[in-house]
Structure 1
């Protein structure tokens, strides 16, 4: 392969870089050219697989003296080796293009996709969208994460006014305020890292880049889970209040409290998945609502699970089923076991289940009126912690909650309660051990 040096004084060109091109070379392998007080090393890397244009690897060497030329020669050798190691030419398309292609081809749950797009449009695209994917480095990603942890708007640290309108306006009337830095939560930065890692993994698979810089980038540490379930006394007040408000609502709150199912799973539950004679409930789907459109989807772990029902819960569900059947009769509708257990009666349409967001909102308002700071998901924590405290084994609790990993997730989230259950188990075992004879002092 040929090697050439551009725009260098003849006396300054080192001999090692003056090899003539061999016959048959259709393109020079690389070149060095002076750019002001620096040298730019440029090596041809093939054709961009996306744009179809020539692709080059470049490196800038400070200085123009003979020592700089020697460093440029070494840099060219390094870049040439990188080209030889690459399976194909890297692409210089911007990250925004790679993101769009990833979103178009990735198999992502609709609600998850909606959240990802929010992060992409608000944070990722404005900051890194124009950067070529083959120029994105680990250092750039870590700097980006650090800036977000300092201020979510990535301000320059200088005071400025956050205007509530564009163009000329009265700041006092619109209450424009001085900017105050607000750091982005570690969990949110980790989510952004996950998106970037997915995009860049796809770019590697598509031979646009040779390696994923996000793979080794440091991101904020994951905050240990800190479940805050209501106390037994608070749980009793909450369920009593729910039944006072509405028998159907009370049954839903009771079911979530005793089984630990997620709100979407409760909304998607159908009567043909509840065997009241056997006391078994099958959780197969979850209900979600996005932009006003509701649909069923698979559970969070994409697994079906069977949950045993206690006698009291079975009785409450039997009474609830009788109310639902009577409601159908009153409306002149045909009853079917395929109907939702918790159907919304708005507009006398019993084919639509409760909305998960409506469940969360109603529960939060009810708890606030009782002076309890909690949310519907905390009932899932309540179910788990009560079982663990009672000495139920970890695998059984994980199965009821629908946790994956054979209990690893359950152990990570509820480690403190698992430790308490372990202490209780130790005491139980100790109490069942044979008693040792007490030694007596003095001569026998």
Structure 2
């Protein structure tokens, strides 16, 4: 291509226009694949001097190079539009989707929705995260009346209106917002709307190290004793959670067909969840099936529990079948309704409060894990029983202190078995 042809090509694809006391450099970046409109990259140079025109010419060369190297943004749609398209395509559990939509409508869309996706930067994301960590409403730092429940003029002092106090958003919530934004931007990259995602380089709040707080062995014994005093069925449920470490939804979804009395195992394949009062089964949290071995005492308790269920149903001329739930809900005569996950947590919490033990149902999962690790059971086996993925990486991150204690015990055992050195 000759110098003249090159010059004509530059004029066809870009231009330098005087706009008042500045110069605007504009280069064509093609057609927006979403809106069908022409897309332009623009830069502004202050002044109209000879030096300003030289700077504008250099900027045009730079913008043309970006287009040629396909590093230029190909769409001018807003981030709000990208969010809507992402929500249409992403696969999410119902409860997760509800949670994400809440974050989007309360925080993300009002803040970033009108920004063109190509103009969203890592700095803009970090500024948002910083503001949320200071105040979840992103106020300007000045006091104001938080809510007015009346229309028209009124006296805030007389009405005792509540003044606003900054309440920082938890780091975990900001990280969740970052995860949503990252998901949207990654999709935009796949759809070739943007060349790269600013969320990949934006700094988010650090994740707080897990601090599991399992009940002590003495408190665990008090809890399980109280559970059996209340109800044999309830005692069996608490015992099974304590000895297997299964999640709340997993224990509710357990069916008799998944209890193998001959091999002494249970298969965890499904989880039961409630959404807006409607229950449904879904995959486990990690979408993996796992088989958990049971001790003899647990097997005996389950056999006794099965017999109670069989007798209870027989009174209603209903036969116990393998597809029925192991733990039934409040309406125990209906074998198609499992124990509600919310009811399980609530009943356990009330029981613990009566015993003046500060704990919750999920802490029994921690109890199972820490007791096994303290006893010297290897990390991979504990991870398998808990249903942790990553070959034990999650287990190690959550229960690092107990893994260290187990390692110390292993060292003492090995040292005790070493041959004794003869004194010199």
- Interval of TM-score (by shorter of Structure 1 and Structure 2): over 0.9
The C-alpha deviation readout for 1:247-300, integer Å capped at 9, x for no partner, is: 111111111110000000000000000012321100001111111111111111
**2:260 is the alignment partner of 1:264:** no
CA contact (8 A) 1:186 1:222 kept: yes
Q: Give 1:60's aligned residue.
A: 44
**2:272 is the alignment partner of 1:287:** yes
Give the paired residue count: 421
Q: Give 1:31's aligned residue.
A: 15
2:172 aligns to what SS in structure 1? Answer: helix
Please report the TM-score for the alignment, with normalisation by the length of structure 2. 0.94
CA contact (8 A) 1:164 1:174 kept: no
The structural deviation recorded for 1:348 is 3.8
1:282 aligns to what SS in structure 2? Answer: strand
Q: Give 2:383's aligned residue.
A: 398
Please report the TM-score for the alignment, with normalisation by the length of structure 1. 0.90
CA contact (8 A) 1:149 1:185 kept: yes
CA contact (8 A) 1:49 1:89 kept: no
CA distance in 2, matches of 1:166, 1:39: 51
1:416–1:74 CA distance, 2 compared to 1 (3 A): same
Among candidates 154, 165, 176, match of residue 180 of structure 1: 165
1:397–1:151 CA distance, 2 compared to 1 (3 A): same
CA contact (8 A) 2:310 2:319 kept: no
CA contact (8 A) 2:313 2:333 kept: no
CA distance in 2, matches of 1:370, 1:276: 33
Shifted more, 278-287 versus 38-47: the winner is 38-47
1:419 aligns to what SS in structure 2? Answer: helix
**2:316 is the alignment partner of 1:316:** no
The C-alpha deviation readout for 1:396-422, integer Å capped at 9, x for no partner, is: 101100111111111111000000000
Q: Give 2:108's aligned residue.
A: 124
The structural deviation recorded for 1:151 is 0.9
2:143 aligns to what SS in structure 1? Answer: coil
Q: Give 1:11's aligned residue.
A: none
Unaligned runs of 5+ in 2: none
1:63–1:370 CA distance, 2 compared to 1 (3 A): farther
The structural deviation recorded for 1:164 is 4.8
**2:316 is the alignment partner of 1:331:** yes
The structural deviation recorded for 1:228 is 0.7
CA distance in 1, matches of 2:235, 2:389: 29
2:12 aligns to what SS in structure 1? Answer: coil
The structural deviation recorded for 1:36 is 4.2
The C-alpha deviation readout for 1:189-241, integer Å capped at 9, x for no partner, is: 11111111111111111111111111111111111111111111111111111
CA contact (8 A) 2:325 2:337 kept: yes
CA distance in 2, matches of 1:437, 1:68: 88
CA distance in 2, matches of 1:37, 1:124: 37
CA distance in 2, matches of 1:68, 1:325: 89
The structural deviation recorded for 1:64 is 3.4
CA contact (8 A) 1:46 1:89 kept: no
1:41 aligns to what SS in structure 2? Answer: strand
Unaligned runs of 5+ in 1: 2-15, 440-444
**RMSD, aligned CA:** 2.2
CA distance in 2, matches of 1:57, 1:28: 14
The structural deviation recorded for 1:312 is 1.2
